C-alpha cells in the first residue's frame, strides 16, 4: 500500500525563468488566493467567535476579568484540566503509535473490525459515552472496580474520547512510509530496534506530535462525556469546562468568557510549543 517515490530523471534544470518562479514557492503550493481563502475561512469560523468571546470577557473591565480567573475554584479547575489533558496526550501518543503499528504492519483475525471501531468514540453521543463509562467503571461495575468520581475516572473518560486521535494521526503516515530505507538498512545489517529508532520514528514523529496536540486540545475542551462520571467535585474532579458552565448558569457570562479565554490562552501556548518542537524535529528534512 505504500507508494514508491519517483525521482526526477536527472538534476533539476539550471536557472531559467520557470525555475526562479518555482523556487519562490515550493511546488504544489496553493498560491496567494488559496492562502487568502483559508485565512478568510479561519477568520469567519474561528477568529470572529473568539473575538466576540474575548470582548465579552472584558465586559466588566480588567478587574472583573482578573477576579473571575483567579478564584480558587477557577485556578484549581484549570490546573486539573491541564494536568489531566497532558497525561492523556502522552498516553495517546504512545498507545496511538502501538495501535496504528498493529493495524498497519501487523495482521491478525479481526483486524478490519478493530480498524472500523476505532472512530466510534467520536461518533458516540457524549451522554451515551458517559452512561457506558459509568456502568463500566462505576459502583455497578461488572469488573468490580469503582473508579467513578475520581481523577482516574476523568482520565479514563478522556482517553476514551480521544483514542481516535492518537491512532488516526499516525496511521496514514505509516501507510505512506517509504519502506525502501528500512529494507536498505535491514540489508545492511541494522537491527529492528535501530531501524525503528533511526528511520521510522523520526518520520513518524511529526504525526505523533500532531495526534498528541489534538488529544490535548480535545481533552481540555471535553465536557459531555466526563461530566457524568466525574461527579464534578470542586477542587478534585471539576474540570474547567464544567466550571465555565457553572458561571453561565449563574448568569455570569462575562466570568465564564474570562475563564474560557485563559483556558484557550494556555491551550494555544501549548499547541504553539508543540508545533515548535515539531519544526525543530523536522528541520533536517526537505
Q: Between residue 240 and residue 259, which ones bind another protein under the rule CB under 8 A?
A: 240-242, 244-253, 255-257
Tell which positions 186-205 bind another protein, by CB under 8 A. Answer: 186, 192-193, 195-196, 200, 203
Min dist CB 206 to another protein, Å, is: 5
Distance set, CA 88 to CA 66, 92, 171, 227 (Å): 29, 6, 19, 17
Q: Which residue from 55, 62, 83, 184 is in contact with another protein, where contact means CB under 8 A? A: 55
* Residue 184 CB, nearest approach to another protein (Å): 11
Nearest approach in angstroms of CB 66 to another protein is 13
Q: Which is nearer to another protein, 62 or 119 (CB)?
A: 119
CA count, 13 A, side-chain hemisphere, 274: 23
- Decide if residue 212 touches another protein (CB under 8 A): no
Dist. CA 97–CA 101, nearest whole Å: 6
Residue 158 near another protein by CB under 8 A: no
CB of 123 to another protein, least distance (A): 4
Q: Does 180 bind another protein (CB under 8 A)?
A: no
Q: Which of 52, 62, 83, 184 binds another protein (CB under 8 A)?
A: 52
Using CB under 8 A, which residues numbered 257 to 286 contact another protein?
A: 257, 260, 263-264, 267-268, 271-272, 274-276, 279, 282, 285-286
Q: Does 207 sit near another protein (CB under 8 A)?
A: yes
Taking the complex as a whole, the smallest distance from the CB of residue 211 to another protein amounts, in Å, to 8
Q: How far is the CB of 69 from another protein (least distance, A)?
A: 13
Residues 72 to 131 in contact with another protein, rule: CB under 8 A: 72-73, 76, 95, 98-99, 101-102, 105-106, 108, 114-129, 131
CB neighbour burial string for 186-212, b if at least 16 within 10 angstroms, e if fewer: eeeebeeeebeeebbeebbbbbbbbbb
Q: How far is the CB of 81 from another protein (least distance, A)?
A: 10
Backbone angles phi, psi at 8, to 5 degrees: -60, 150
Give me the least distance between CB of 181 and another protein, in Å please: 10
What is the distance between the alpha carbons of residues 128 and 148, in angstroms, rounded to a whole number? 16
C-beta closer to another protein: residue 84 or 164: 164
The single residue among 78, 84, 93, 168 that binds another protein, judged by CB under 8 A, is 168
Complex with another protein: residue 87 or 186, whichever CB lies closer: 186
Amino acid at each position: 500500500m505504500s507508494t514508491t517515490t519517483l525521482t526526477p530523471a536527472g538534476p533539476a534544470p539550471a536557472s531559467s525563468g520557470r525555475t526562479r518562479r518555482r523556487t519562490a514557492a515550493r511546488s504544489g503550493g496553493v498560491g496567494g488566493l488559496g492562502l487568502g481563502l483559508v485565512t478568510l475561512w479561519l477568520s469567519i469560523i474561528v477568529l470572529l467567535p473568539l473575538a466576540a468571546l474575548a470582548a465579552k470577557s472584558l465586559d466588566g473591565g480588567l478587574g472583573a476579568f482578573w477576579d473571575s480567573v483567579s478564584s480558587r475554584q477557577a485556578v484549581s479547575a484549570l490546573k486539573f484540566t491541564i494536568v489531566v489533558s497532558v497525561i492523556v496526550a502522552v498516553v495517546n501518543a504512545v498507545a496511538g503509535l502501538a495501535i496504528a503499528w498493529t493495524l498497519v504492519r501487523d495482521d491478525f483475525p479481526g483486524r478490519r473490525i478493530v480498524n472500523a471501531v476505532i472512530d466510534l468514540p467520536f461518533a458516540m453521543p457524549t451522554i451515551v459515552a458517559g452512561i457506558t463509562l459509568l456502568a463500566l467503571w462505576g459502583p455497578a461495575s461488572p469488573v468490580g472496580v469503582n473508579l467513578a468520581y475520581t481523577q482516574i475516572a476523568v482520565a479514563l473518560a478522556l482517553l476514551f474520547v480521544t483514542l481516535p486521535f492518537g491512532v488516526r494521526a499516525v496511521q496514514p503516515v505509516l501507510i505512506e512510509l517509504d519502506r525502501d530505507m528500512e529494507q536498505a538498512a535491514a540489508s545492511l545489517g541494522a537491527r529492528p530496534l535501530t531501524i525503528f529508532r533511526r528511520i521510522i520514528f523520526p518520520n513518524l514523529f511529526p504525526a505523533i506530535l500532531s495526534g498528541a496536540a489534538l488529544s490535548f486540545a480535545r481533552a481540555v475542551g471535553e465536557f459531555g462525556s466526563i461530566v457524568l462520571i466525574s461527579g464534578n467535585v470542586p477542587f478534585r474532579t471539576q474540570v474547567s469546562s464544567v466550571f465555565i458552565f457553572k458561571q453561565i448558569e449563574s448568569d455570569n457570562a462575562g466570568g465564564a468568557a474570562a475563564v474560557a479565554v485563559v483556558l484557550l490562552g494556555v491551550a494555544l501556548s501549548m499547541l504553539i510549543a508543540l508545533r515548535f518542537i515539531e519544526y525543530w524535529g523536522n528541520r533536517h528534512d526537505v
